[in-house]
Amino acid sequence: MTKKYQNNCPLPMDESILSSAWAKAFLHVIDHSGKEISPLILSVTGFDDNGIPAEDTTVRQALDDALKKKGEQDVETVAYTIFPQRLWKMARGNRARLFEMYRDVFPRYQAMDRKHNKWGLYFERLISYGRGQCDGNQLEWIISQYKKSKEMQQGMRRSMYQASVFDPDRDHRSDPYLPFPCLQSISFVPTKEGLIVNAFYPTQQLFIKAYGNYLGLAELGAFMAHEMEPKLLRLNIMVGVAKFDEYPKNDPDFEPLIAAVRAYIARDTIAEGEKRSDNVDFGIVI
């Protein structure tokens, strides 16, 4: 039975598994009237010491299978637009080398998919914005300023640690549909416990892009945590309008994905219930 949902009612989620955050948002749209969540507020923890997020392979594989059926990019490809994880591994912890490698190969990325990449890619905007400090490399500016403040043992205003993707000069266009950019800005908040990453999307496609966006932001956060030295603690994502793309929710191609997500949520709910039971204190207070 479809449940009624007021589109302008915030939907907050706080999850320790990245797959759970996406799965619950996806099912919320499937199980409620309409095709949008506005706003969607996600907070994800559960990163290991290297900043790798906890995922459920069955959910991710089922999503990749559905994306393939529709001729869409898989999760890893979408994540790569935000952070080039494979290049980072090739750079072996050298961020200058990572930036150099990405700039060298970026024209090829554009040529491979002019439809989606004509106006740029997210990581390209973060390290080659076109103007500003460090020749437009916003990530280098944030990292270098943070390291400088630590060396001098001086406090630094935290509003400095933010990077923009949206550029009014290039992105204020009257086209009826623009594939890029959906991500507007990212901020990095160092704390004693670890690094917190905040990202804002005015709109986001829940089926086609969202999971890959979450993963890419987590990988970017892990990279920044590696360079700024605190571990990755939390990823917060604010989405003004999370929408279910152009596909109908009752599309038969979604049935295996929906079944896999429901099975995962059921397992997760049982596991959480058992965990809470284990933590109950049955002592008698006199």
The continuous run of DSSP H or E covering 278 comes out as helix 255-278
Is 274 among the domain residues? no
Residue 113, helix vs strand vs coil = coil
> Which domain does 56 fall in, by range?
11-264
Is 95 among the domain residues? yes
Q: What is the domain-level CATH number for residue 206? A: 3.30.572.10
Is 3 among the domain residues? no
Is 281 among the domain residues? no
The tokens 């700039």 sit on which residue? 103
pLDDT in tens, 98-137: 999 999 999 999 888 877 787 789 999 999 887 868 787 9
Question: CB burial class (10 A; 0-12, 13-18, 19+) of residue 107?
Answer: exposed
Asked which of 13-22, 162-171, 214-223 is least confident by mean pLDDT, the reply is 162-171
pLDDT-based confidence at residue 2 (cuts at 50, 70, 90) = low
Is 80 among the domain residues? yes
pLDDT in tens, 34-75: 999 999 999 999 999 999 999 999 999 999 999 999 999 999
Is 6 among the domain residues? no
The pLDDT of residue 32:
93
pLDDT surpasses 50 at 283: no
Average pLDDT, the chain: 88
Work out the angle at residue 152's Cα, subtended by the Cα atoms of residues 148 and 156, and round it to the nearest 5 degrees: 65
Residues 248, 18: Cα–Cα separation, whole Å: 25
pLDDT-based confidence at residue 159 (cuts at 50, 70, 90) = confident
Residue 102, helix vs strand vs coil = helix
Is 203 among the domain residues? yes
Per-residue pLDDT averaged across 182-210, rounded? 95
pLDDT surpasses 80 at 176: no
pLDDT-based confidence at residue 154 (cuts at 50, 70, 90) = low
Q: What's the total number of domains in the chain?
A: 1
Is 285 among the domain residues? no
The pLDDT of residue 277:
45
Residue 131, helix vs strand vs coil = coil
The pLDDT of residue 285:
35
Rounded to two decimals, the pTM is 0.90
